[in-house]
Amino acid sequence: MLSFLLSAMMAVQALAVMEVQVPEQPVVALHGMDATLNCSFSHPSLFNLSDLSIFWQLTDTQRSVHEYSQGRDQLEGQAKSFANRTSLFSTQLGLGNASLLLRRVMVADEGSYTCFVRVQDFGSAALFLQVAAPYSKPVVTLESDSNLRPGDELALTCVAYGGYPEPIVIWQDEGRRNLTDNVTTSFVANEEGLFSIVSVLTVVLEPSSTYSCQLINPLLGEEGYASVTITGQNIAFPPVALWVTVGLAVCLLVLLIALAAVCRRKIKESCEEARREAEEAKELEEEESKTAMTPLKS
């Protein structure tokens, strides 16, 4: 019975768990840059590096990321996607630093990583790697800047590219009111996994309106901003108003012509009447003159 208890105690001691520590919060790495996945362990006494084993693997798929044992790297079983991109901090292994340096981070690297450490005891812990890439400055364009009139529907397009993860897209008017209706946003990933975004806002056109598109990267917290202002110069004169104006101009022209004709006729009549009065006055004067020259009979 005593021998059984001693054997059990030795087995429990052999399976004692070593304390391994990793960051509780996700590690955010920039696309194309190097990232350090921190992992540390504590051991109560000095140990020989030949007795140390470190094994990094993807938590979900259990694919090998990096392995160290017997005093050197053991990379025969390493996943091809990590080839020539990983290393440990060899001078700090004896100090309990089992961190992994991951070079040239890619979108495909995002996920959960488990750090296994064994000296005499064994321990493991998992952390999560998130990848981020900044977007280009957004650009807002009009569907068309001609043949527009108030009341028409107009499509505004906001475009940005080369970022990760999917951004938050916010459309606002000049009063900084969020426009959530009639917005369609699509994301397309390239071969590197980076997104291009196209967001289309449909609005009812009003003269002198300003609309803005704002991009927020949820990991980097950065903002990209672009706006467009539609003024009266962008809006074609409404056809109905054009015909009304032309009609009014024609009516005014006809009225002026008619007024000129009436004035001409009135002037002509006034001139003829003045001429007749002059002729009548002349005739009357001649008759009075003849009467004055006739001798009186005795």
Mean pLDDT of 18-39: 96
- What is the reported pLDDT for 280? 66
- What is the reported pLDDT for 89? 97
- What is the reported pLDDT for 12? 37
Range of the domain at 211: 139-234
Residue 234 has pLDDT above 80, yes or no: no
How much is the pTM? 0.69
Cβ distance 66 to 75 under 8 Å?
A: yes
The CATH number of residue 177's host domain is 2.60.40.10
Cβ distance 66 to 115 under 8 Å?
A: no
Q: 222 and 151 in one domain?
A: yes
For residue 171, give the 3-state DSSP assignment: strand
Q: Return phi, psi of residue 173, to 5°.
A: -95, -175
Tens digit of each residue's pLDDT (9 = 90 or more) over 201-232: 998 877 778 999 999 999 998 789 999 988 75
Residue 7 has pLDDT above 70, yes or no: no
Whether 222 is in a domain gets the answer: yes
Amino acid present at 29? A
Tens digit of each residue's pLDDT (9 = 90 or more) over 176-206: 889 888 899 999 999 999 999 999 999 887 7
**Band of pLDDT at residue 104, cut at 50, 70 and 90:** very high
Residue 274 has pLDDT above 80, yes or no: no
Whether 277 is in a domain gets the answer: no
Whether 2 is in a domain gets the answer: no
Rounded to whole angstroms, how far apart are CA atoms 119 and 69?
10
Residue 284 has pLDDT above 70, yes or no: no
Share of the chain above pLDDT 90, in %: 54
Provide the number of structural domains found in the chain.
3
Rounded to whole angstroms, how far apart are CA atoms 49 and 43?
12
Cβ distance 113 to 100 under 8 Å?
A: yes
Burial of 59 (0-12, 13-18, 19+ CB in 10 A): middle
Tens digit of each residue's pLDDT (9 = 90 or more) over 138-158: 999 987 655 667 777 889 999
> Lowest-confidence range among 125-134, 236-245, 270-279?
236-245
Q: 253 and 162 in one domain?
A: no
Cβ distance 114 to 59 under 8 Å?
A: yes
Q: Among the three residues 188, 212, 234, which one is the final residue of a domain in this structure?
A: 234
- What is the reported pLDDT for 288? 61
Q: Among the three residues 132, 165, 187, which one is the final residue of a domain in this structure?
A: 132
Whether 256 is in a domain gets the answer: yes
Rounded to whole angstroms, how far apart are CA atoms 68 and 102?
15
> Lowest-confidence range among 4-13, 46-55, 239-248, 278-287?
4-13
Residue 118 has pLDDT above 60, yes or no: yes
Q: Among the three residues 132, 165, 193, which one is the final residue of a domain in this structure?
A: 132
Share of the chain above pLDDT 70, in %: 72
